[in-house]
Amino acid sequence: MEEIAADKRINIKGFVCPYTFVKAKLAIESLEVGQVLEILLDSEEASRNIPKSMEDHGQKMLKNEKINDTDWILVVRKERE
Amino acid sequence: MMDFTDDQLQRYSRHIILPEVGGKGQAKIAGAKVFIVGAGGLGCPVGYYLTAAGVGTIALVDNDSVEMSNLQRQIAHSVNTIGMPKVESAKRTFEALNPDVRVIAMQRRLSKDDILDLIRDYDVVVDGSDNFPTRYLVNDACVMAGKPLVSGAILRFEGQVTTIVPHDGPCYRCLFEEPPPAGLVPSCQEAGVLGVLPGVIGALQATEVLKLILGKGEVLKGELLIYNALKTEFRKVKVPRNPSCPLCGEHRTITELVDYNEGYCSMP
């Protein structure tokens, strides 16, 4: 799979819901439409909830991947303000 | 983009999550300045909720001191602040809730000579006054200064709310050109008021203020919302602009502020 270049990366390891989404949402807000955010996290619950919430808010999930025993990487493209 | 501290992130997380608010909306709330007339039944819940919401600056104007008879409905005061100016009592309560908020306490009665100067720097004015002279003075000043005004009133079991957007929607004088004669409409002191009623009306006013700040949703422009607590009934009455309104109509006869205080007793 082709790597997607992120315009912004955040590390929210150690955070739990809902602050995982709060952090991710603030990061998305700081981007322009069309830009891409990469999120590193270690909450299994957030790995399910963030993609759902992002799509509810009209953003596009490009990737949701478990990269090792504890961590996930999510990639989101901003589709709307 | 506002940088939130960890505490702020937690405090405002339920706002930030809302699509209509988000970090940008919360930053707007933090930058907003709201002027509240009255620190009584309505001013207490309005100020309390706007403090919780993180409104950056809240001015409170009231000339009275806290009395035992206030405590049945004026939730920012307590037995510990009886005798203290209401604005000071409320300031302490609000600051304990949210130290992000700057509360400016003004113990005074508003007059035609100072109101325009006092409201100049504020984005929204809230009327929680308990008398007609103040209600008309605040309406007239807001129309002249072009400030949005969220007006509330309560008596017995009934309350009303409307949002005045000057020169876009009707003003209070489009509805009632002149205040009623002194003594015609009873005060809460004479007629009583259910203690929880100002909580309902004040929460509605605070909601209107937040929508004005955020620029989201629809406010009660050109509409009077009437709540009957005994029947648990809300009614919306359309109020058109009055082309012959003496204040905001086509031929304006009121071009200066008026103090109607003559003939009115001062309300406790």
Contact: B13, A57; criterion CB under 8 Å: no
B14 Cα to chain A: minimum distance (Å): 9
> What one-letter code names the amino acid at B187?
S
Among residues B153, B225, B224, the alpha carbon closest in space to that of B191 is found at B153
Query: Which residues of chain A neighbour B14 with C-beta distances below 8 Å?
Result: 18
In chain B, where the domains are located: 12-238
AA identity, residue B246: P
**Sites in chain B below the pLDDT cut of 50:** 265-268
- Closest residue to A25, CB basis, from B1, B10, B22: B22
Query: Would an 8 Å CB–CB cutoff place A65 in contact with chain B?
Result: no
Instruction: Chain B: give the shortest CA distance to residue A21, in Å.
Output: 8
- pLDDT recorded at residue B266: 45
Map B186-240 to HEC letters.
Answer: CCHHHHCECCCHHHHHHHHHHHHHHHHHHCCCCCCECEEEEEECCCCEEEEEECC
Q: What is the pLDDT of residue B11?
A: 97
| ipTM surpassing 0.95 | no
B246 touches chain A (CB under 8 A): no
Nearest-Cα residue of chain B relative to residue A55: B19
User: A29, B22: Cβ pair inside 8 Å?
Assistant: yes
Res. A16: pLDDT tops 80: yes
- How many C-beta neighbours within 10 Å does residue B55 have? 29
State the pLDDT at residue B262. 53
Catalytic machinery residues of A: 17
Q: What is the mean pLDDT of chain A?
A: 94
Domains of chain A, start order:
8-77 (3.30.110.40)
Which B residues in the span 8-47 are in contact with A, Cβ-Cβ below 8 Å?
Answer: 9-10, 13-14, 16-17, 19, 22-24
Count A/B contacts: CB-CB distance under 8 Å: 29
**pLDDT tens across B108-125, in order?**
999 999 999 999 999 999
- Residue matched to tokens 């001013």: B43
CB contact under 8 A, B23 and A23: no
In this complex, do B17 and A21 lie within 8 Å of one another by their Cβ atoms? yes
Q: Mutation test of the interface with chain B: which of A15, A16, A25, choosing the one with the most B Cβ atoms within 10 A?
A: A25
Distance from CA of B35 to the nearest CA of A (A): 29
- Decide: helix, strand or coil at residue B79: helix
The domain B12-238 having CATH identifier 3.40.50.720: the answer here is yes
Nearest to B85 by CA among B101, B102, B109: B109
A8 in contact with B at a CB cutoff of 8 Å?
Answer: no
* Residue B232 Rama label (left phi>0; alpha psi -120 to 50; beta): left
| Distance from the B216 Cα atom to the nearest Cα atom in chain A, whole angstroms | 14
- Residue B245 structure tokens: 């309104």
Residues A37-42 have a mean pLDDT of 98
Res B228: pLDDT: 98
Is B184 in CB contact (< 8 Å) with chain A?
A: no
The per-residue pLDDT for B12 is 98
Pick from B169, B160, B102, B103: which is nearest to B135 by CA? B160
Tokens for A18, please give them. Answer: 């809902």
